Structure 1
Amino acid sequence: MFRIAPTPSLLPNELIERASKIEPATVGHIQYHGFALGLRPVTTANRFVGTAITVRLSAMDGSALHYAADEVQPGHVVVIEMGQDRERACVGAMVCFALALRGAAGIVIDGMATDIADLEATGLPIFARGLSPVTTRLLGNDGDVNMPVTVAGALVRPGDLVIADPNGVVFIDPPVFNKMYDHLVEFQDVEPGAREELRSGVKLTDRFGAGDLVRRSAIYVNP
């Protein structure tokens, strides 16, 4: 059985533009959930921001992904849950080509990809667990499109904001992102000035306060 929900509308351009300035590692200073831990870029194109369109595949069946590909609009990020399948690749040359033609911003797979030369040729950023020559089949058995999925430990809902760079992928509820945006910018704006202070001789512990935290409860011993 297949469960098909409506395709999420693209997030506003203003929000996407804001998100493009933020790194996933910056989000990691503020929240601990929403990260696709264990996934890495498998193509040299490794940065994107977009709106999640979600797919859950079942066993060997890639049918739901083919269906979802035709629903993609420019700016969507295709986010794929493959359960515990670490053997079969659900995205290869033709699926990637089709998604690139549709204007997908990127692909996130909790599983494997294949046909790396063809993937690279599209210029489409792809994050996955790795590469495999073994592929899914079109069986017509089971799958979901635009239902909540779990990807590398992160709950992803259709319409979530997706931010990816070489450090990884984070999924964020858009209203939550708007609320913490100014704080995220503050975190990123601190670093250039802090580097200059360190160059001038300021200690790392003094600049960020770890020295006081450690000294409060430190016991100094002689080895």
Structure 2
Amino acid sequence: MTTPSALDLSDLKSRLYSAVLSDVLDELGYPNQAVKPFVRPLDEAVVLCGFARTGLYMKRYEVPAGRNPYELEMDLIDSLKPGEIAVLACDGPTDRIAPWGELLTTAAMVRGAAGCLTDGLVRDVRRIRDVGFPLFHGGIGPLDSKGRGEMMAADEPVEIGGARVEPGDFIFGDADGVVIAPNAVAEEAIRRALAKIEAEDSTRDELAAGATLREVFARHGVL
């Protein structure tokens, strides 16, 4: 199993692109790994790169007496490790479940977490932008999740914006969107993606020098 310690996430954040990773996953037989485009980065300059820790939410319409609706949520965030990403599945797009805000951001950052991916709503966005925390979201709103949504399971397979995510899967997100690389093929996908980026760099230089698309495609096989 690929783990945060097995890859240099800082290096990948500076070299990898979501589009190229999506391309090589297509080649490997995984064509449905891009999260639907309604999930967007809170800050397009920030890159999301790490390994999934999943939480599954359900709608709620009240909080029973004596119940702590944040219990599983707190356990997940408190147990995050460096390089891990909180992946919070809310069956988005949604107008009522808002699992992420400033306080969870602070707790996740202290633990070295690599970010958060959710198809639910987020709030406290100015403060989260100020600290540069990588956050991809399904919308922005002021609502508290209490009485509207609750995490019902953690560290189980979930679906975010049409893409299946399992605990430990590699996640990469940038201004183009988010791509999920299943753990079993993550290292191979990353290796191929970095090789393709080198070929694209050569293609770009040759196009800028006046070569035709047909010429550079014949030489490098990328477009």
Q: Give the TM interval when normalised to the shorter protein.
A: 0.7 to 0.9
Deviation at 1:115, TM superposition (A): 1.0
Specify which of 82, 97, 101 is matched with residue 90 of structure 2: 82
Gaps of 5+ in 2: 61-68, 219-223
Whether the 8 Å CA contact 1:56–1:145 is kept in 2: the answer is: yes
CA distance in 1, matches of 2:113, 2:150: 26
When normalised by structure 1's length, the TM-score is 0.80
Matched ranges for 1:1-223 at <5 A: 10-14=3-7, 16=9, 19-20=12-13, 21-30=15-24, 31=26, 32-38=31-37, 39-43=39-43, 46-60=46-60, 63-84=71-92, 86-88=94-96, 89-137=98-146, 143-208=152-217
Q: 2:22, 2:33 within 8 Å by CA — same for their partners in 1?
A: no
Conserved? CA contact 2:51–2:84, under 8 Å: yes
Question: What amino acid is the match of 1:174?
Answer: N
**Structure 1 pair 67–182 and aligned structure 2 pair: CA distance change class (3 A):** closer
**Matched residues, percent identical?**
24
Does the CA contact (< 8 Å) of 1:22 and 1:185 recur in 2? yes
Moved more, 87-96 or 178-187: 178-187
What RMSD, in angstroms, separates the aligned Cα atoms of the two structures? 2.5
TM-score (norm 2): 0.80
How many residue pairs align between the two structures?
202
Q: Distance in 2 between matches of 1:125 and 1:52?
A: 14
SS in 2 for 1:78: strand
